[in-house]
């Protein structure tokens, strides 16, 4: 997706948290944290133009499923171009992922949640609900992985998850912080 187009979505939609697509450096660091041999169910919050989605699909087992939650209709149109039966595109807020997956897809637990949601733009109660519901949705030892441009969400993740690590990726504009919490 061209940067000009991404900037247009950033200006138009307050839920879009970046003016450019996720850098290859950030994506690589996120992908390295996933054990694709064992991963059967993965959730992605805010896939945008699908940069991370594409690599998840490229590395997933044939029987694995990727559920993506996206609210932006323009990004959904782009995601529909991915012709992969393992991809389930859900036009809904990530806050409702747990209930949607349980009720509509009969999915009780997932192995990984990858989030690119702009938590800085979300109100504190919503941030808390998303983190708590994500924790509940994960299997034992499941992982919540997000990248952010500030430390705002770090302590909330640390308060819920037993093992939290962070990595700074300087080769991104602006530099990104990857936070990885294990249930």
Q: What is the pLDDT of residues 128-137, one digit of tens each?
A: 999 999 999 9
Q: How confident is the model at residue 5 (pLDDT cuts 50, 70, 90)?
A: very low
Percent of the chain surpassing pLDDT 70: 89
Residue 168 to residues 82, 96, 150, 174, Cα–Cα distance (Å): 30, 29, 10, 11
Q: What is the pLDDT of residues 78-122, one digit of tens each?
A: 999 999 999 999 999 999 999 999 999 999 999 999 999 999 999
Q: What is the pLDDT of residues 10-42, one digit of tens each?
A: 444 344 444 456 788 999 999 999 999 999 999
What pLDDT is stored for residue 91 in this prediction? 97
Q: How confident is the model at residue 67 (pLDDT cuts 50, 70, 90)?
A: very high
Please state the φ and ψ torsions of residue 176, each to the nearest 5 degrees: -110, 150
The CATH fold of domain 3-182: Rossmann fold (3.40.50)
Q: What are the extents of the domains in the chain?
A: 3-182
* pTM of the predicted model as reported, rounded to 2 decimal places: 0.88
């Amino acid at each position: 997706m061209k940067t000009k187009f991404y900037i247009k979505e950033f200006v138009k939609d307050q839920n879009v948290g970046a003016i450019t697509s996720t850098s290859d450096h950030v994506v690589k660091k996120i992908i390295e944290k996933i054990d694709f041999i064992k991963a059967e169910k993965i959730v992605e919050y805010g896939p945008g133009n699908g940069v991370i989605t594409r690599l998840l699909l490229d590395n997933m087992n044939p029987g694995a499923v990727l559920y993506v939650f996206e609210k932006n209709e323009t990004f959904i149109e782009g995601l529909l171009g991915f012709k992969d039966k393992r991809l389930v595109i859900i036009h809904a807020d990530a806050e409702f992922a747990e209930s949607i997956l349980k009720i509509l897809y009969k999915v009780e637990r997932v192995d990984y949640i990858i989030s690119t949601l702009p938590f800085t733009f979300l109100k504190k109660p919503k941030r808390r609900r998303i983190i708590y519901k994500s924790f509940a949705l994960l299997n034992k030892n499941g992982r919540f992985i997000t990248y952010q441009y500030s430390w705002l969400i770090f302590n909330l993740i640390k308060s819920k998850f037993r093992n939290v690590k962070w990595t700074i990726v300087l080769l991104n504009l602006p530099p990104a912080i990857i936070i990885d919490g294990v249930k």
